[in-house]
Amino acid sequence: MSNRTFTMIKPDATSKGHSGAILDQIIKGGFSIKAMKWTRLTKEQAGEFYEVHKERPFYGELVDFMSSGPIVAAILEKDNAVADFRKLIGATNPAQAEEGTIRKRFAASVGENAVHGSDSDENAAIEGDFFFSKLERF
Ligand code: GDP
């Protein structure tokens, strides 16, 4: 069990001004920030990040959306980080997310769902490495 996960606040949430409220909920949820940046993915970078979904029908839409505006990328630390963070953000489709979860509060649709959370320790490490060098994490 690793104590780190990776998150992005997606372009729908940054453009609606929800970044501060989402970070507040993450910190109050017991996660501490080990690395963080405000950035924007090119289409190519978004395509690479979501390469595992290449064969899914929504891949093109996902790449367009994730490169459509700025994001907040962060590495978070907490015991049981991956599973606990998935619980905090809620189901992929906000209509099915539990009350009080980040996606229930801030997401509009299954595609534009406010936040990303790693689904395994292995992917958390890969995704963190995608955005941050050793000098950028503490
Ligand atoms: P997650 O692990 O909860 O983020 O969900 P998945 O790994 O299944 O999907 C990755 C991301 O693809 C989701 O967070 C959504 O942004 C997007 N996505 C998933 N399903 C759909 C869909 O049916 N349509 C669109 N447009 N995007 C989707």
Q: Which atom in ligand 1 lies closest to the alpha carbon of residue 111?
A: 27
Distance CA 13, CA 10 (A): 6
Judge if pTM exceeds 0.95. yes
Going from the N-terminus, what domains does the chain have, and what CATH number goes with each? 4-136 (3.30.70.141)
- Which pLDDT score is estimated for 1? 53
Paired residues of 6 in beta bridges: 75
Distance CA 123, CA 129 (A): 10
Distance CA 119, CA 117 (A): 6
18 a catalytic residue: no
Distance 50 CA to ligand 1 centre (A): 10
- The tens digit of pLDDT for each residue in 37-96 reads 999 999 999 999 999 999 999 999 999 999 999 999 999 999 999 999 999 999 999 999
Given the residues 4, 78, 103, 116, select the one marked as catalytic: 116
Here the tokens at position 38 are 């405000």
- Helix or strand holding residue 77 (H, E): strand 71-77
Residue 2 has pLDDT above 80, yes or no: no
